[in-house]
Every structure is written in structure tokens, then in C-alpha cells.
Structure 1
Amino acid sequence: MARLTTLSFLLMQILAVNAGDHNNHPHNNYPHNFTFPADPGVFGPPLEAVHAYFGQWPEGIAVSSTGRLFSSFGGIDPANVNNGTPGIFAVGELTSPFTEKAYPSVEMNTPPCSGGAVDLTDPENPVGCGSADHLISVIGVVIDAQDRLWIVDTGRPAYIFPNGSEALLPSSYGGPKLVGVDLSTDTVFTTILFSPEVALPNDSLLDDVRFDLRPNITSSGAGVAYITDASLSGQNAIVVVDLGTGDAWRRLQGNPSVLPEPQFLPFVWGQPLYFVPDPGHPPTGNLSTTPPPGYLPVGADGIAISPDGETLFYAPLTSRNLYSVPTALLRRRDDAVEAELAAAVVDYGQTGFSDGMESDSNGLVYKGNQEANAVVAFDPSTGTTQTVVRDPRIGYVDSLSAADLGGRGWLYFTSNQLHLSAFFWSPPGSGGDRRRRPFALFRVPLLDEGGKIDEA
């Protein structure tokens, strides 16, 4: 006879006692009629729906001081890649609770190469369009402390080959860049192009960005940007950019803190998520006849900065751990600093499987927790994580943005169902694109009367 588990044994004992004690049990006719505690599914303040995306699939969100909303529509989704088809844009302004328009212009969102955002000069070897004046494939959008919009262009659009295979294309010089937009005039005030040594054409996936605009940290006085390279091929790093000179360099290249965790298996909405390298040919239920899935290979992704600008927080997408490093070391141009950097990395341990991150004036670091349908906040001063909001409507939190509006601080975040995209497969045979419109933009108040960081 198989051994009973401890729980089964205890339940049988309770049932036996209840069955023999009809006088004392409140349900004496049904001694096994239990009500067990259940997960309520919600926690925190009411979740406020701000925008419903019925068109393109969103990633980033940025909120200005006047309440203007901007989203990126990542080129990792082929449907977001402009190939000359009207109405497709990499960055958009949200113009109503359910509409968007190209920003800062339709023309800037219409790349001029032979395949739009794709250069098909050599049809056998397509690459990302190398136009410095157009947006090619954008993931990160951020509003800085001076209320300017910054756009991180990876320069690597997704492409569907004639045989149906889907892949991110290599970038061309002019594609990977950091673009600054003046919101008072809706015009570009700077474009910083990244060299192939900074944005590796076949490997880099420039993702998200944070800023330190203190004038005393660079000779130019214009401040610094920090960008995560979320490379799917292990070439992960933090890219540092001098906003005054346009110089850029890579730090923490190959450090374990920026690399994906091997054999990392996340769960969202109760389902394990295996990675599909070629979404055009996803595995089926019969893994003996189709390519098996793999593990998510994305490195450094989420990023946040402390209110004083002295500490940068970051996390690989393929991990539950949160890390930080002193920004002063990142800004040093001598490559010999790498050994000192490696020794200065702080590992805060597991704080949840997350994508984008944000910080507030209280120094809290906010991040999605995809496995709990939640947004959480990590407090570096105590090393503890607390749940901010939890709701069954929250699935995959991609990007977060803090804003001060109406006399209080708000946290905006996109929930875009990435876990239901063709990039992921769950046994016994759930794959392909299972996303359903609308995608969501939500907001909740920041904790403890926190606000947007006003300097860094």
C-alpha cells in the first residue's frame, strides 16, 4: 500500500473525528464540507485603467509632468515594424483612452530603406535600416527630470523570412541611438548614434534607460544616461553615455549580475514559460517531431536609479535577483575599473521575476512581479520587498513610469501579455500568439507619498 502523505493522513483523521462527533460539528450532516482559505487574488489600492491599446502591441510607457503619455511599440514584434504600411509606428503619443498617434511625427516613424525599417539591399542578408533620422525598433521611452522625452532605438527590427522563420536582424550604423525630444516644441534636440563597438550589430538589444543630470558629474555638464543591453546572446552590459559629448562605453560586460540565469523557468498565470527562439516555427505538443523550446536567454533589462544618482539598480530579465552598483565607477573611462566594478556589485537576492523597473523620491525600487500578478517595491534601506498592488488583470508588467500629477505621485505601468506571445510555449502544447486586445496601461499611487525623482 502506498504511504499516505502527511496532509492526506491529517485530513483523514479530521474526517474521522468529525464523522464520529455529530453533536459538536456545525455541519453534522456533511462532516466533510470544509471551507479552506483561498487566495483573494487582489491586494492594495484599486487598479486604475488609464489606456486600452486596441492597435499595436505596447512595451514602454513615459508620463510627462503635464500628463502626456507616450508608448513604445517594440520592433521585437514584426507587426510593429514599419515596412511602408501606413499607421505603424515605433513611438506614439496616447491621444485618448483608446487611441494613439505617431510621435514625434509620422515621417520620423517611416524609415526610408527598401523594406522600411528593414534594409533589403541584400535580400539574402537583411539588416536593420541605418537611418539616423528615423526610428527603427524602439523599446525604451523615458521622461527625464527636465521633462524631456528620451527614446532608445535598438536598430534591430524583427523580420519574417520567406520560409516563415522569424528573427531579430543585425543593426546597421545609424539604427542604434538615443534620441532626445523637447516636449514643448515636439522636436528632436539631440541624437546620439552608437558605434558598432558600443551597440554590437549582431548581439546588442538596447532596452531601457535612466538619467543622472547633475551638472558636476561630467565635464560637459549635461549629465549621463545608463542603458541596459538585454542581448539574447549573452553579450550583456550597461552602456554609459555622456549626454554632452555623445561618447559611450560598455561596463560590466559579461559580469554574472547582467547575464541570464541558466535554465531559468518562470511561471505566469500558473503556466511555465519556455522560450521559443523562432516564433515563426513554434513547437507543438509533440516535441519528438518539432523543435523543443529552450530557456529565456535575456540578460540585463530593468533599470532604476537612486534619488541622489549615486546607485544604479538593474536586473536580468532571466532572473529573480536584483543588483546595484555605484554609478561613479560606471562613469570612469579607464577599462581597468572593471575589476573594481565587479567587487562593488551588490546582490539583493530574489525580489521577483520582472521586466521594467522604476524608482521614486523615497528611494523605493518598483518592479513587476509577473509570477504574482503584481507590482512590488524593494526598499534598499531594509532589504525587503513589499507588494504594491495585485490584481488578476495584471499579467506581464513590461514598463513603469513615475509621475507627479494632481498633487500626488503615481506609478503607471503597461501590462501587455508578453507571456502569451509566440515567444513562449507551455506544455503540453500551448504556443503561438495567444494575446488578446486590448492591452493595458494601469496606474496606482506611489507608496508613502512618494514622487518622481526631481534630479537624477
Structure 2
Amino acid sequence: MIFHWSRLDWNFPDPAMKLDFEANQYWKKAPACGVKVDQQGRYYVSVPRWAAGIPATMNRIVIKDGKPLLDAFPSWEWNQAGNVHALQSVLGYEIDEFNRIWLLDQGKIAYEPSPDGSQKLVVWDLNTNRMIDSINIPDEIASYRTSFLNDLVVDNKNGFVYITDSGSGWPDHPLDGGIIVYNMRTRTLRRVLDRHYSTQDFPGFQFQIDDKPIYKNQPVRIGADGIALSADRSTLYYCPLTGRNLYAIDTSRLRNYNTPLAEISQAVRAIGSKRTTSGGIHADNRGNVFYSMLEGKGAGAYSPFSNTFQDFVSDDRMLWVDGVAFDQKGSLLFNSNRIYGMFGGYEMDWTYPYNLVIWKAFVGNGVKSYLYAH
């Protein structure tokens, strides 16, 4: 356990902001999501704006008076809600092998449609602390109404980025899941597997944690969510949140924009059931795919060599394990954040010190992210 909170708190730049945050209890809808660490050893967490009042959606952890606080990254100005050029709502992001952070901006706040220009991919150099690029994701690639840009993987060797769109951005409406491919060289985007069975929720699927339905009053429905790229960059893995299957497709088909959409749809392989739903997945530099276990309360691993799934680590306090990633020292990083408690209609005990936790589990010497595979 590296960091833990009963509720999130920020290193506010001015007392009025803190007062407003506390008075309105905005922390009740503030989950710490994906956790990652850069090459300098600094920790980051995203806090998507699925409700009003989130001070900053992208953050670096700072220690103040012995307590971990969130500090807006790259700045407070860059996290200004309502400014489409700034970061509006970040859930998924990646820190690549060149120490650049790729920030996937969902664009929408509190499930309102994404304003034009707000859906984007922002690339920031952590070594020089400056923006390198901002790539707009238009309505025809990810619908401003239904999109829910979830997570991404980066392939600098071939010059591509792959993004999952869960299609769940319009509650109480049919899903519109899909995969988005970005070609760095031509700066073009393509949407594939739109509403394909593998990017949608599994029909009628419901799941529980500790024998409690995830959302008290209605089943949660979320399409393509976790995404991972194999160490050799040849296979893209992904999974819906509401379903247990892991799916895969050869990236060679996705990298060629002339590949017919129908051919891509037919090329999807169902790897099999992880025996758990997963919020995040991440491949290591040796070919394995690690995944969060929501039902299993922990993290598991898939080996393509033996085609087997196995539990890796579990703890009763690992309630809703969300993102998974690697540090530089052989450990898996992941977080648990009780999202279903915050948004599912259940009462939360806000005095409990482990509502939000960042965990580290040693995998092995030399084990790193897929990004560091030779």
C-alpha cells in the first residue's frame, strides 16, 4: 500500500477553492482512477469529472504535512473546467518510454455532451514540462453525445495509438462502443469495431462485489474499457467492463487504414473468460497481460504462451481495482477506489481510511511495461 485516503483532497492554490470544495462535499464524487509513475518516480492519478466540482482532473501526488494531496497537472490553468482547450475530464492516460504523458480527454463533464474541441489527445513532455501536441477527436470519430473515451495504449515503434470508447456517455441509452486508431505519421483517426459484440456490453450481464449488485437500482452497462498492447506490438487486447471475456486482434489489420471494416470485425478473437470483470488491463515486456479483478478484488494475469488466466494478488480492501500499470522496478501498480460506492447508490463510510488506495505488488526483476520491450 503506497498511498491511501478516506477521501481525496487537493493542494489548493487558494483558500476560497478549498472552502467551496468542502462546503459542497464535491469529494463524494471524486474517485482516484488510473495511477502511473514517471521516470523521475513521480506518481500521477486521474480524477474524471463524472460530476460537478472536481478541482483538477489530472494530478500529481504531493506530500504535505505527511499527507498525500493531489496537485493539478500540468497546472491549475490546464485543468480549467469549461475551457475546451484545457483538460476537461481525463480517465485514461499513458506515460511512454520517452517520458511523455499521453492524456486522453473525454471532453464531457457530468455526462453532458462533449463540447466541440474538448475531446482530444494531449501529449506532454515530462522532461521539459511542455506540450508537444494536441490531437482533436471529432464527433464523427467519437460521438459527442454517446462517447466515453476510456483508455489508450501507445506504439511509438510503428507510430500508432489505440483508444477504447466504451460508448456509455449517454446514460439510459443504447451503447455505442468501439476502438479508435490514431496514425501519428499521417495524423489521422479511424474508428473500427463500432458496436461490434466485443466492444459492447455482454447482453443481460450483471455482476456483484461482496454479493451486492454494482448499481443498486439498475445494472451498469459499459462497453470496451481495458486495453493492452503486446510487447511485440503485434496484438491488441481489450475487454468490455460488463463482461468477463478478453478479446484480441492483430494490429497489422488496424495499422492499414485500407483494411475493410468488415474484415476487421471478422478478425476479432475471443481469448476466453478472465472469470472476473476488469476495469483496466496492461501488458508487460515479456508478453503477459495483467488485468484488474473487480469481482475477485485484486489483479490477475493472462499468459498467451499457456493460454491461461490466473489470480496474481487479492485483498479484501481492493474494492473496485481500476487501473493497472508498471513502475521501473519490477512492480505492478494499481488502485482501488470504490466507484460503485460513490456512484451506485450505496452509503459510503467516509471515515474508513482505505476507501481509495494505491497498491504496489512485486512481479519480478526486469519486469516492466510493454513500452520497454526490445
TM-score range, shorter chain: 0.7 to 0.9
Counterpart-to-counterpart distance in 1, 2:267 and 2:48: 33
Q: Could you tell me the percent identity over the aligned residues?
A: 29
Q: Which residue of 1 aligns with 2:255?
A: 331
Q: CA deviation at 1:51?
A: 4.7
Kindly provide the CA deviation profile for residues 326-384 of structure 1, in whole angstroms up to 9, marking residues without a partner as x. 111112213x5222212221111210211111110111111111112121001112111
- Structure 1 residue 452, shift from structure 2 partner: 2.1
Contact kept? 2:286, 2:373, Cα under 8 Å: no
Q: Please tell me whether residue 242 in structure 1 is matched to residue 178 in structure 2.
A: no
1:151 aligns with 2:103: yes
Match of residue 37 from structure 1: none
> How far does the alpha carbon of each residue in 1:397-449 deviate from its partner, in whole angstroms, 9 at most, with x for none?
11111121xxx311111100112122x25xxxxx3566656511111112575
Task: State the one-letter code of the partner of 1:420.
Answer: G
C-alpha contact (below 8 Å) 2:99/2:127 kept by paired residues? no
1:208–1:302 CA contact under 8 A, matched in 2: yes
> In the TM superposition, what is the alpha-carbon distance from 1:95 to its structure 2 partner?
1.3
Following superposition, the deviation at residue 270 of structure 1 comes to 2.7
Matched, 1:441 2:364: no
Residue 191 of structure 1 aligns with which residue? 134
Q: TM-score, normalised by structure 2?
A: 0.86
Which amino acid is the alignment partner of residue 72 of structure 1?
S
1:203 deviates by 0.6
Residues 331/176 of structure 1: CA separation in 2 closer, same or farther (3 Å cut): same
Structure 1 contact 180–189 (Cα < 8 Å) conserved: yes
Aligned partner (choices 238, 243, 264) of residue 319 of structure 1: 243
Structure 1 residue aligned with 2:2, among 49, 74, 87? 49
AA of the residue aligned to 2:109: P
Which letter does structure 1 place at the counterpart of 2:335?
Answer: T
Larger mean CA deviation between 377-386 and 438-447 belongs to: 438-447
Tell me, in whole angstroms, the C-alpha distance in 2 between the residues paired with 1:225 and 1:320.
Answer: 24
| Structure 1 equivalent of residue 167 of structure 2 | 231
SS in structure 2 at match of 1:256: coil
Counterpart in the other structure of 1:417: 338
Contact 1:265–1:274 (8 Å) recurs in 2: no
CA distance in 2, matches of 1:224, 1:75: 27
- The count of aligned residue pairs is 341
Runs of at least 5 residues in structure 2 that lack an aligned partner in the other structure: 10-29, 169-173
Partner of 1:345: 268
Residue aligning to 1:107:
77
User: Structure 1, unaligned stretches of length 5 or more?
Assistant: 1-47, 81-87, 112-116, 118-128, 159-167, 218-222, 276-292, 426-430
Residue 312 of structure 2 aligns with which residue? 388
What does residue 278 of structure 2 align with? 354
Correspondence list, 1:44-443, <5 A: 48-52=1-5, 54-55=8-9, 56-80=30-54, 88-96=55-63, 98-111=68-81, 117=82, 131-132=84-85, 134-158=86-110, 168-214=111-157, 217=158, 223-232=159-168, 233-274=174-215, 293-334=217-258, 337-351=260-274, 352-404=276-328, 408-422=329-343, 424-425=344-345, 431=346, 438-443=355-360
Larger radius of gyration: 1
SS in 2 for 1:179: strand
Per-residue deviation at 1:274? 3.4
8 Å Cα contact 1:70-1:141 kept in structure 2: no
CA contact (8 A) 1:71 1:141 kept: no
Pair 1:257–1:448, CA change in 2 (3 A): farther
Measured on the aligned residues, the alpha-carbon RMSD in Å equals: 1.9
CA deviation map 1:58-98 (0-9, x unaligned): 11112112211111101113342xxxxxxx10101011261
Cα distance in 1 between the residues matched to 2:366 and 2:127: 28
